[in-house]
Chain A
Amino acid sequence: MIHSFNRRTLLKAGAAAGAAMALPDFLGSTARAQAAGLNVFSPLPPDPAPPGAAKFSEEAFAKWQADNGATVAYETLAWPQLHDRMATAFASGAAPWDITYNCGWVPEFESFLSPYADTLPKALVDDLPASSFATTTVGGKRYGTVFTLSLLTLFYNKELLEQAGFKEAPKTWDEMKACAKEMTRDGRFGFVLNYGDPAGIGGTASYWMVFLQQAGGKLYGEDGLPSFKSDEGVAALQMMVDLMPSTDPGSISYAGINDATNVLLAGRAGMMMNWPFMWNAANDPKQSQIVGKMTSAVLPAGPKGSASIDGTDAWTIVKSSKNQDKAQKLIEFYLDAEVQKRQVLDTGWLPIRLSVLGDPEVQAKAPNAAVVLEQAKHPYDSFVTADYNQVTVAIGTEVQQALQGSKTAAQAIADAHEAVTAIVKRRG
């Protein structure tokens, strides 16, 4: 049989081919319409990541997606690059995510986020430390939920401490200075920290904020203006300066906590402030030379007691998300007690739920959980604001100068106060 190939058959063939090509797309879009697609922007493990991005609660996560008719796609990125990508996407008005990780940036990105955490179930909220919302609350509205209790505590090398003649961790500033001094011997130092980068949570300024709160000071007064040009502000910095002779001199150039952590893990320093994740690293024989020697304790008390700062790892919902309800449900799933338990057991990241933190199995697997829980009973304000980066750079650079001896503590605090006052006045 011979077919004539005329204009009509060509059009028919074209239409059939077009339909065949469009069919998969059509079916795909129908399927997508039935299952809500949620895009989640998350750090890459081993930084804190949710089920599906990190290896825990994977079956529960698959079940949640099936039960809720949702498909979750993760966009993961190394932690140090998260902020810049978020800032660019938000500023251009083209953020493609439903849920984003946040770390002290809530005030900065508040106008792009939904205050969903005000509507979380009461049973869940009651099981979270009230102060965990401090860094995610702006103008009285809660924009995020912290999902891991990440406070700075004291990590110390028990063996070095005992060699220096101490039986337990220092509990006061004076004891801390004495311990650090005695541990500084044989090429080792009593203390190490990363003072190289002034900015952000975990930067030089934030460490001074720890001491500031221990001295009984606050960064801002009731009127919102800086209030740290005070005896407490100077005492906090003086404490850091006093520690310097027993501090690894490299500290002034260590830009990230990784650098300082490595010094401790190599057995070249005796103590440091660090985050709970340190526990796993210290006990991993592939990374650490001090396996079994690391212990943690509540940070030594200043004149007004112990205090810390909060790592503020939180989940937020993007205002432009078309799946607000599903996104909130997914965050509630991340905070489910069983998921939180697997989070700590399988990844080492502590849960935020108080009931899970108190779970005997959790405390056995993560002995530092009890210490962090105890630390959480003391103040831990990170003083985050929309201009937190500017504020911490202004303070941190002055702190660095005092630590290097080019300014007195009083002079550095006075200069930092002046700089931060100017920043605050620009807030309007």
Chain B
Amino acid sequence: MSFARLREGGPLRKTVILVGLALFTFWSAAPVLWLIISSLLEQKALIAQPPDLSPQNFTLENFSTVLAAAAALGRGIANSLIVSLFSTALALVLGAPAAYALARLPVPRANGIAFLILATQMLPGIAIAIPLFIVISKLGLIDNVLSLGVVYLSFNLPIVIWILRGFFLGIPSGIEKAAAVDGAGIFATFWYIVLPISLPPLSAAAVFAFVEAWNEFFFALILTRQQAQTVPLVIAQFAGQYQTVFGQMMAAAVISVAPVILLAVLFRNQIIRGFADGMMKG
């Protein structure tokens, strides 16, 4: 159904659609709204049932407490930014040519290789935790943000390859043939023709990889100590054995989620186009 036909519908039809969209928006945004609300509530108001949302229970104390201990959170955000950007950049640099090769070049058993790459994602992290720890430890790279970034590459690279391969498969072959007629080789075609028209899926893959790295917890837990701790570890510190300081945890989450939301807002058009163009054709 086109928007033109929707626009032609009666007021009732429009109202139903608007209400439906509003409900869907609320449904999607509710967890984030609750995150913000609970970051502003006192602990005793949060544990009441139902939560006591009286105005006197709202406070900025959770934020001031978290910011007073800002060293850990600030370092966590900085580490997460470095790890996520490093891992995402590397995944794009390595993943885009790999995806192009698997999609457009005469690689023997390209589909098999692609599925093998996907299969690496089926291995649970815990299965490789100890061997990985030994390797990183022997290299003296425990508690190092860049080594964490390289580890994250192992799950970001397959994601990038799969998103981009789907997009590259959908590019009309005539474009590449025309480039070849003009004398462009494989690398020139890839660099000057394919990449410039692949910005939406590249952006989508980048955001996806960035968010994956930003949220990762398990490998950050075992491969860092104090200096390279990332944001998820810092947030988890508000949950102890006997006590969870929900308000402060939520305040830390609100602060730390800001860069990711900013990224999603800045690249929202590219993300939507990228997923539509890439994943659907995969």
Which A residues fall within an 8 A CB radius of B?
A: 43-44, 46-47, 75-81, 84-85, 88-89, 91-94, 96, 202, 256-258, 261-263, 265-266, 268, 275, 277-278, 281, 285-289
Encoded as 1 (CB less than 8 Å from any A CB) or 0, chain B from 206 to 249 comes to: 00000000000000011001100000010011111111100000
Find out whether the CB atom of A92 lies under 8 angstroms from the CB atom of B133.
yes
A85–B130 Cα distance when bound, in Å, is 10
Please choose the segment from B43-51, B103-111, B265-273 that sits at the chain A interface, where 4 or more of its residues have CB less than 8 A away.
Answer: B43-51
Q: In the complex, are the beta carbons of B243 and A258 less than 8 A apart?
A: yes
A281 touches B243 (CB 8 A): yes
* Residue B33 CB within 8 A of the other chain: no
B residues near A265, Cβ cutoff 8 Å: 44, 47
In the complex, are the beta carbons of B47 and A92 less than 8 A apart?
no
Q: Once the chains bind, are A78 and B130 in contact (CB under 8 Å)?
A: no
- Can you list the 5 inter-chain pairs with the closest CB atoms, starting with the nearest? A79-B241, A262-B47, A94-B137, A92-B133, A92-B134
A-chain residues with CB within 8 Å of residue B240 when the two chains form the complex: 43-44, 46-47, 78-80, 258
The complex places the Cα of A77 from the Cα of B138 at a distance, in Å, of 23
The answer to whether B243 and A85 have CB atoms under 8 Å apart is: no
With a 10 A CB-CB cut-off, give which of A84, A92, A96 has the most chain B CB atoms. A92
A277–B48 Cα distance when bound, in Å, is 21
Check if B43 sits within 8 Å of A278, measured CB to CB.
no
Residue B277 at the chain A interface, CB threshold 8 Å: no
CA distance in complex: A30, B237 (Å): 35
A84 CA to B129 CA, complexed, in Å: 10
Bound-state CA distance A120–B138 (Å) is 35
On B, residues with C-beta under 8 Å from A are 42-44, 47-49, 129-130, 133-134, 137-138, 142, 221-222, 225-226, 233, 236-244
B-side contacts of A258, CB under 8 Å: 239-240, 242-244
Question: Closest CB-CB distance, A275 to chain B, in whole Å?
Answer: 6
Instruction: Report the Cα distance A266→B44, complex, angstroms.
Output: 7
Query: 29 A-B pairs, CB-CB below 8 angstroms?
Result: A44-B237, A47-B242, A75-B226, A76-B226, A77-B233, A78-B237, A79-B241, A80-B236, A85-B222, A88-B129, A88-B222, A89-B133, A89-B222, A91-B130, A92-B134, A92-B137, A94-B138, A94-B142, A258-B239, A263-B47, A266-B44, A266-B49, A268-B49, A277-B242, A278-B242, A281-B242, A288-B44, A289-B44, A289-B48
Inter-chain CA distance A80–B239, complex, in Å, is: 8
Contact A88 B48 (CB under 8 A): no
A287-B237 in contact (CB<8A): no
- With CB as the reference atom, state the residue of chain B lying closest to A81: B221
Which chain A residues lie closer than 8 Å to B225 at the CB level? 75, 96
Known: A81-B233, A202-B241, A266-B47. 17 other contacts (CB 8 A): A47-B242, A77-B237, A78-B237, A78-B240, A80-B241, A81-B221, A88-B133, A91-B130, A94-B133, A96-B225, A258-B240, A266-B44, A266-B49, A278-B242, A287-B43, A288-B44, A289-B48
Residue pair B242, A84 in contact (C-beta under 8 Å):
no
Smallest CB–CB gap between A112 and chain B, Å? 14
Residue of B nearest to A202 (CB): B241
For A76, what are the chain B residues with a Cβ–Cβ distance below 8 Å?
Answer: 226
Interfacial chain A residues near B138, Cβ < 8 Å: 94
Q: Could you tell me the distance between the alpha carbons of A192 and B48 in the complex, rounded to whole angstroms? A: 15
Given contacts A88-B222, A266-B44, contact A261 B236 (CB under 8 A): no
A285 CA to B238 CA, complexed, in Å: 19
Contact pick for B242, options A81, A257, A289, CB 8 Å: A257
> Of all chain B residues, which has the CB nearest A250?
B49
Contacts of B226 in A (CB 8 A): 75-76
Residues in B with CB closer than 8 Å to A287 are 43-44, 47
Using known A-B contacts A78-B236, A91-B130, A94-B133, determine if residue A286 contacts B44 with beta carbons closer than 8 Å: yes
A287, B48: Cα distance in complex, Å: 10
Q: Name the B residues within 8 Å of A257 (CB-CB).
A: 241-242
User: B237 to chain A: closest CB distance in Å?
Assistant: 5
Give Cα A258 to B226, complex, Å. 26
Q: How far is the CB of A91 from chain B (nearest CB, A)?
A: 5
A46 touches B44 (CB 8 A): no
- Tell me whether B43 and A286 are in contact (CB under 8 A): yes
Contacts of A46 in B (CB 8 A): 240, 242-243
Nearest Cβ on chain B to A81's Cβ, whole angstroms: 5
Q: How far is the CA of A46 from the CA of B133 in the complex (A)?
A: 29
Of the candidates B133, B221, B236, B243, the one whose C-beta lies within 8 Å of that of A277 is B243
Q: How far is the CB of A31 from chain B (nearest CB, A)?
A: 20
In the complex the two chains form, what is the Cα distance from A394 to B134 in whole Å? 31
A115 to chain B, nearest CB (A): 25
| Candidates B130, B133, B241; contact of A43 at CB < 8 Å | B241
Which residue of B44, B48, B137, B221 is within 8 Å of A85 (Cβ)? B221
Which of A78, A94, A281 touches B239 (beta carbons < 8 Å)? Answer: A78
Chain A residues in 8 Å Cβ range of B236: 78, 80-81
Residues of B within 8 A of A256 (CB): 244
Q: Name which residue of chain B comes closest to A287, CB basis.
A: B43
CA distance A91 to B137 in the complex (A): 12
A289 contacts which chain B residues (CB < 8 A)? 44, 48
Which residues of B have CB within 8 Å of A261?
242-243
Complex interface: chain A residues within 8 A of B241 (CB): 43, 47, 79-80, 202, 257
Interfacial chain B residues near A202, Cβ < 8 Å: 241
What is the CA–CA distance of A285 and B134 in the complex, to the nearest angstrom? Answer: 47
